[in-house]
Each structure stands twice: as C-alpha cells, then as structure tokens.
Amino acid sequence: MKTPSVDKQKDTVRAQGRHRYQLNVADLAPNIEDFPLTEFPNELNFFSFQSQSKQVLEEFLQLDTQRLLVLQTENMAEYAPFVEGFIESFYQKNHATKIDKFYYQSERTETGQTVFTRATQSQAPEVVTGLYIDSARLFGKLYFDEKHQQGSIQLGMVQEASGGVLMLNVAEFLNNFRLWQRLKSLLVTQNFVWQGEDMQGYFPYEIADYPLNLKVILFGTREELASFHDAELNLYHLADYSELEQVINLTQSDNANKWFWWVQCLADAQEKRIENDAINLLYQQFVRETESKNWVSLSPWRIAKIFQQSAFKQEQDVLDKEMLRQYFIHKDKQQSQLREQSYQAILQDQVYIATDGEVVGQINGLSVVEYAGVPKTFGEPVRISCLVQFGDGEVIDIERKNELAGNVHSKGLMIAESCLANVLHLPAQLPFSATVAFEQSYGEIDGDSASLACFLSLVSSLADEPLPQSIAVTGAIDQFGCVHTVGGVNDKVEGFFAICKARGLTGKQGVIIPKATLEQLSLSDELQQAVADNAFSLWAVSDINQACEIMFEQPLLDEKLTGSLVDKIHHRFGENSDKGGLFARLFRR
C-alpha cells in the first residue's frame, strides 16, 4: 500500500519536473552588450584581429631564409587585398630599400646576331597577386615575329614579383601540378632559366637567365591545402603555415569591442550610420551561423553585402534594426521553398507528426535537413517509434538494417542501449528485444543527436508509460546518461515551433534541448514572443534523469520513492516472466 507521504512526494516531482528546467526569454538569444564595449580602439583594421598571422607575416618578410608561406583562408579574393595592404604598409614603415630589378634589352653582336641581355633599374618591391594563372602568366613567354624578324619578351609574375612577394591561389596548382613543380625549383634555386615551353614557336635568339629574389604566399581552403599536401608531401619542409581568421572569439582580449567598432567602420565605408540594435541583430544572425555566442564572422565582404542589400531602395543614411530584420526575412523566404514543401507535407498528414496527445513508445525527434546545392538548411520533426518484446537482448536499428543510417547514428543508438542497461543494473544482457525506427524517413540519416529521444522511447515502451507528443527532443547521450551538445539547435527548435504554430499553439508544446547548447541559442523574435506569452516552452537538460522528469513527470530512478520508471520496468518484466525463470531472477530484489 502506498503511504500518503510517498504520494505527496510524487505529486511534488510532477509539479516541479517541467518548470525546474524551463528557459526564460532572456536565455533564447544573445546580446552583444553582454560584452564590455568601450571607446573606439587606437588602431582598427583587419589585422587588428589577426595577431598570429600578423606575427608570421612580419617574420616571413624580414627573414631571407623564408621563401614560402601557406595561408589558410576560405576566400582568397576577399582576403588577399588585406594581406597585400599589410605587406605594402610593412615596406613603408620599415623603409624598404629599393631593389635592382632586371629587365631585358636586345643587342647585336659583332657577328650581327641579336641577343637579349639583362639590365637593371632601381624600384620599390612589389606585391603581385594571381587568382588565376597559366604557364605564360606565371613564367612569361618568348615571341618571335617572323614577318618583321623581331623578338619580344613577356615577363611573368615570378619576374615581376622578384624582390617582393608573389601571392597565388593553391587551387591553380591542383589543376596543373607541373606549374607548382617548376615554381618550387625556382624558390630553391632563385634563378629563372627560359625553357622550350616558354617559347611560342621558333625563337632564334640567345637569352640570359633571370636572377630571382622571390617570396611566395599560397592561399587555400582547408580542403585545398589537404589535397595539395597529399601531392606535395614536403610542403611544410619548405613552407611556414598560418591561418587568416574569418571568425573571431569575442571572449579573447578586446575582440568584442573591436568587432563592434569594425562593423561601424564597414558601415561608414558605405556612408551609413548603423544603430546599436542593428549591430546586435547582425551579431545574433552570425551566432546562428557559428553556433556559438562567442564566435562571429569577421568577413568584410559579407557584412558589406548585408548593409548594401538592407539599404537597397532605402533613402536614408541610417541602418536600423528593422532594415536588417527585413533583409534577413527576405533572404529566408528566398531560400525556403523546400522547407515549406516539407512542412506542408506534415501539415497535410502526408508525413504523420503528432503534436498533441500521448503515445507509448513514440516520440518526436528533431533533424536538420540539407539539400545539395541549396544554401539554406532547416529543421523538421521526425517520428521515432520503439516496440519491445521478450527476446535475446538485441535492439534492432531498422534504419541501419536497411542501410539508411550512417555509423554515427548507429553508434548513438548503441550508446542509448548501453546507457539503459547501466540504469537497469542488469547482471546479464537485456532480457528483451526492441526495434527502433525513424518512421516515414526514406533518405539517409546520420548523427547522434537523436540518441536521447531513442533512449526515452525505449524507456516508454519498457515501462508502458506514454510520452507527450507535444514535446520534441534533441540531444546526444553517453553511456552514463549525460546529455551532450548537438548541432543545428536553432533550426531544430524553430522547425518544431513552425509546425505547432501552424496547428495552433496550446501552451503545452515545447522542445527539450541539451543544456550545453544554451550558448548556441539565437532564436527568432516570433518564437521568443511565444515563450514570453507562455504559448511555447524550452527546457534545457544535462542528463537523462532531468529529461525523464519533463517527459514522464516522474523520476527515472529514485531510491527514496517506489514507482519510479526503473521500478515499473522491473515490475513489468518480472510479472510477465515465469516465476522461477531467468527474468524473475534478474529482477528479483
């Protein structure tokens, strides 16, 4: 018989379970003013955020022994002008001496033969940039006009940059690796010898070699540099390496203040003044992309593009929050066709997703959908179901059995199974079999962000306790029941919210997320308002016990209480087994 004190304790758990982990509106989006913002810094430019690469560049320019530098960057066209400006400024500050630059002049010998000899002229070192190159552009070309019996020489970029710096795109060498092999030999010998491939047809004249004093910077993405390194295994025996940071950590040094004024400077460059709340909205948008409130984009091209398009057809000199908000809404609608089709399939019950009621062994997980060639990802709910019966302890992943799931997904489900066995304290293998399926999912899935949802569906089926369909769940778990971070949390939450809103918000709907994802949150104004109106809820959990309190409104395991979920599982399987059989012995107290 249950005692009144125990019943009272259970009622307390039910009453507090969901409210204890519920998030406030202030938790749903970051604010740039949470960082210390002060006056305009003494010096502010792109390299104010590049302490490591700045130091590497200075050493590269000063040391004669360093001839090759590799810079990792996502877009050479965007960032090469900043590097070029830095090098030119460095030359000016350090009063770089003029260099003797070679050029060719033709002379006739006593025998009447024309030869090309070297002459010199004094000039400042140059920075030469080549986004796209071929052999003639890089190494030069020799021409002979048979009609006029006249030869000419087109110098290449290696000669133009001699004494200065040549900046090239590593992708060009991936397309023609022979160009790199020849350039590498020039970096080692510092002497250019004209070859037959440099001649366009017949070239009857003698031509002297070209002494070089060449430094080269190679720009490339991580993927391009990885491929290039596979082809040139000795790359970093020749080269130093650094990275141009395209996103910056606002918690380091004075970065938050510098980024705040950097955005203002980019607006000033367009003869615009930007209001603080507009900067905050830009910051929140970048947090969605980096999935961290501490990291934001530094891209001047990206920020300038947002400002230009926000101010398009606007006859005012001020960039305010509403202008940027309308720009982001417009861009979202431009890229939302597939998302809307997916949501309509759910709302028209072509894909069944319940958002009310309770069902045993069924839960709404959350996924991020990506389509090749489409820049916009979006979140949508996915129905996860679980059935259990007495068996040999196997938990069957239907997606994996049909080769519709990746290895990370399968690992997540195995961890959920192991975690459950740990919670139940079984001395042997699980005394039941289970099947877990992602219903009406016909494409390949991967990732472990559904492992918490799979665990809850297993518990629901085993304890014969229903799960609320009004609450969706995302989170990865480990074998000890801790809930860990997942990606795409903003898309996932907003995806489930969109379905619930279209059907009508009831105040009972919401999403459980890992507590570790709080720093990723940057949710829409509409969703924030729904939370403020108590029409929609978010809960943040750090372990499976907290998730069970929310979903079942009762504890997973509580030694002080009888009737916990684990007790119900033990009782249920003990009752349905033979009294003297294996299951009774396993669950006997």
Q: Could you write out the three-class secondary structure of 2-33? A: CCHHHHHHHHHHHHHHHHHCECCHHHCCCCHH
**Distant-in-sequence, close-in-space partners of 194: CB < 8 Å, separation ≥ 6:** 140, 142, 207, 209, 210
Burial of 540 (0-12, 13-18, 19+ CB in 10 A): buried
CB count in 10 Å sphere of residue 21: 20
**Contact indicator for 102, 210 with CB cutoff of 8 Å:** yes
Tens of pLDDT along the chain (589 residues) come to: 444 454 555 445 554 667 889 999 999 999 999 999 998 888 899 999 999 999 999 999 999 899 999 999 999 999 999 999 999 999 988 876 666 666 666 666 555 555 566 566 667 788 999 999 999 999 988 887 777 667 778 889 999 898 899 999 999 999 999 999 999 999 999 998 888 787 777 777 777 788 889 999 999 999 999 999 999 999 999 999 999 999 999 998 889 999 999 999 999 999 999 999 999 999 999 999 999 999 999 999 999 999 999 988 787 889 999 999 999 999 999 999 999 999 999 999 999 999 999 999 999 999 999 988 888 899 999 999 999 887 777 777 777 777 777 888 888 888 888 888 888 876 566 677 888 888 888 777 788 899 999 999 999 999 999 999 999 999 999 999 999 999 999 999 999 999 999 999 999 999 999 999 999 999 999 999 999 999 999 999 999 999 999 999 999 887 666 678 888 888 776 654 443 333 343 344 3
**Contact indicator for 435, 444 with CB cutoff of 8 Å:** no
Nearest to 71 by CA among 137, 160, 157, 167: 167
**Contact indicator for 539, 550 with CB cutoff of 8 Å:** yes
DSSP 570: H
Output the CA torsion 493→499→504→508 (10° steps).
-40
Nearest to 508 by CA among 523, 492, 496: 496
**Contact indicator for 430, 436 with CB cutoff of 8 Å:** no
Domain 51-243, CATH class in plain words: alpha beta
Nearest to 299 by CA among 245, 218, 242, 377: 245
Question: Do β-strands 395-397 and 362-369 pair in parallel, antiparallel, or remain unpaired?
Answer: unpaired
CB count in 10 Å sphere of residue 323: 21
Structure tokens at 558: 């509580």
Active-site annotation, residues: 449, 492
CA atoms within 13 A of residue 382's CA, in its CB half-sphere = 24
Q: What is the pTM of this model?
A: 0.86
| Rounded Cα–Cα distance for residues 113 and 77 (Å) | 46
> 358-578 maps to which CATH number?
3.30.230.10
**Distant-in-sequence, close-in-space partners of 133: CB < 8 Å, separation ≥ 6:** 157, 168, 169, 172, 179
Burial 256-281 (b: 16+ CB within 10 A, else e): bbbbbbbbbebbeeeebebbebbbbb
**Contact indicator for 73, 243 with CB cutoff of 8 Å:** yes
Coil, strand or helix at 69: strand
* Residue 211: strand pairing partners: 191
**Contact indicator for 527, 28 with CB cutoff of 8 Å:** yes
| Rounded Cα–Cα distance for residues 179 and 198 (Å) | 12
* Residue 99: strand pairing partners: 123
| Rounded Cα–Cα distance for residues 72 and 320 (Å) | 34
| Rounded Cα–Cα distance for residues 497 and 495 (Å) | 5
Binning the chain into helix, strand and coil, the percentages to the nearest 5 are: 45, 25, 35
| Rounded Cα–Cα distance for residues 291 and 284 (Å) | 10
Task: Specify the pLDDT at position 527.
Answer: 97
| Rounded Cα–Cα distance for residues 208 and 116 (Å) | 7
* Residue 114: strand pairing partners: 108
CA Rg, the chain, in Å? Answer: 33
State which H helix or E strand residue 516 sits in.
none
| Structural domain 248-339, CATH architecture | Orthogonal Bundle (1.10)
**Contact indicator for 13, 553 with CB cutoff of 8 Å:** yes
**Contact indicator for 290, 296 with CB cutoff of 8 Å:** yes
Per domain, the residue ranges of the chain are: 51-243, 248-339, 358-578
Alpha helices in 21-67 (DSSP H): 51-62
Nearest to 439 by CA among 503, 371, 339, 349: 349
**Distant-in-sequence, close-in-space partners of 515: CB < 8 Å, separation ≥ 6:** 483, 540, 541, 542
**Contact indicator for 183, 37 with CB cutoff of 8 Å:** no
DSSP 234: T
Task: Specify the pLDDT at position 113.
Answer: 54
The tokens 């860990």 sit on which residue? 484
